[in-house]
Structure 1
Amino acid sequence: MRKVAIIAALATATLSGCAVLETKSAPPEPSPPSSAAPTAPPPQSAQPDTRRLTVADAAKAAESWITTHNTTIKDRDWWDDPALIDELFWAATRHEAILDRGHVEDGKKHKARKPIRLTGGQTYYVPREQPPDGEWFIVQARYRGQDRDHLLAFWRPARSPSFKLASKTPVHYGELMPKPVVDAEGYVTAAPALTGMAVSQEYRKFWNEESRKKAAGNGYRLAKDNYSREAYAVVSKGLYAAFDSTTQEYGFRTEDGGSFFMFSLLNKPKYIFQVLTVGVAVKGGGKAIYEIAGDWYA
């Protein structure tokens, strides 16, 4: 047994020594100088443009969506086809489609969804930097036959072939959209996502009576003359269900150092009574939330 152990130990030592042994080879002979002229490095190709959506693309997408929408709703029972709803709508407007079905079933023809026809000039707010899970833009335009502008937010999820309408609202009478920060190519600068979430959550807390006496921990607060302060007293009596969530906030920076956001407040999917969509502004250096646009869809 002792002999076997000694042989094994020697074998191990020998193998280990072979593993770390370094050999030296003779240095290579220098090669003769080449008479060929040095080859210039290949020219570098220009870096690809990483933009996914242009302002012109947004205008075409909005036009295409409106055409499809107006054709679809000619069928009185369009809302009964989940595929059509999925093709056209996203987030808040999907909730609106559920309300549309209820209006038709209840015989409320005056509340039936109407065609959208834009007239006059249009302003497109398209961010250069888009989120990783999709693309968005906002268009400001006037509906034919109406006397104020509307805002329509469109969203295209990643890997989706077309845009869907995510939120819409008219601009309040007497209000003007804040001027965005725009670069040389017409792109707006996206607003901070965390600011948008703080603003939308303050709105949800306000409507759910969670922040009546003091501002939320983030410091944001509806301005004293905010339209929702007046609207709450009117719609909260018997026609209101608590908001369970908010949609994505579509926002851009403004020239005064602040931000503008557009988003919607939603009920639970099984209990849809209304949709509140707003366009709000926060001025640079401030925490007060001013409502520029708003729509109570019920």
Structure 2
Amino acid sequence: MNPGHPLSYLVPPTLRRLLTPAGPSSAHAQALAQLLGVAEDELDAIRLGRRYHYRPIRGAKPDGRERRILAPSPPLKRLQRRLLDEHLGRLPIHPCATAFHPGASPVFNALPHARGATIVTLDLRDFFEATRAWRVHRFFREQGWSGEPLRVLMRLCTFRDGLPQGAPTSPCLSNLVNVRLDEKLRRLAARSRGIYTRYADDLTFSWVDGGMPGGFQRAVENVLEREGYEIQPRKVWRVSRARDRPRVTGLVIAGDGRVRVPWRFRVRTVLLRWRSWLTGDPVARARWRGCQGYLRMVDRSREGARSRPRKGG
């Protein structure tokens, strides 16, 4: 099998060695070994995965469905973190992607829509798992990787057929892999003078004048389907008017160009503070500190947004 074939990593390693011509690019192997901080002869051991595995951790999503986190083993996590710090985290992402990068904030995702007359939000189902391995493979191929180094990268960054939720590399890769998707959706929105942003699996569109144009929903769904994504069936398309004070990534769109934290959250923060003070409950204190941290983050982001260029559109 051609080592550049998008499905070559699915072939068992023993069979692949028989099908693949010998002699991977030594320049690529040296570059990857240097990135990972390992000896070049360790790359094959990484690919075979003797010490590099995941431990499943199960939890619950807000909608009650099961959430599966894949915790990488310490050796695997160390290599993933180095790959992120030395390479992936330095690559440019689409300006409409507002999560998983330094300085990212839900505020910067919501602000471009703060003057929208019509706001549409939708969530993608099983975002990391649905970011398919063939798309990660295509991304690394376009970066210039091939042969054995490419297979090592796939071993480090994918699990089964998608991005493992829990790997340090997955959030960043979800942005890098989706540059095409983000640009297609931005252009779709721009045709009707709309604005688009994406915060992880949360997609938001808005229009200052008028509403969502006819055929727009089907066009967006076609783009998502071609990239392997499905819309979260329990949330579907949520179309709101400015007067409804809609929420974008948890923040209220006030309709006056600003975004606000929901008043219920602020009340909850005050109640947690009183509970922790009156009872000394460490759980309440920890939750109060978390709420306080979120409020400070929102305030800092709103201040910083005044000097940032507008995203989306």
TM-score range (shorter-chain normalised) is: under 0.3
Normalising to structure 2: TM-score of the pair?
Answer: 0.25
* TM-score normalized by the length of structure 1: 0.26
Higher fraction of strand: 1
Rg comparison, structure with higher value: 1
Greater RCO, 1 or 2 (C-alpha within 8 Å, sep 6+): 2
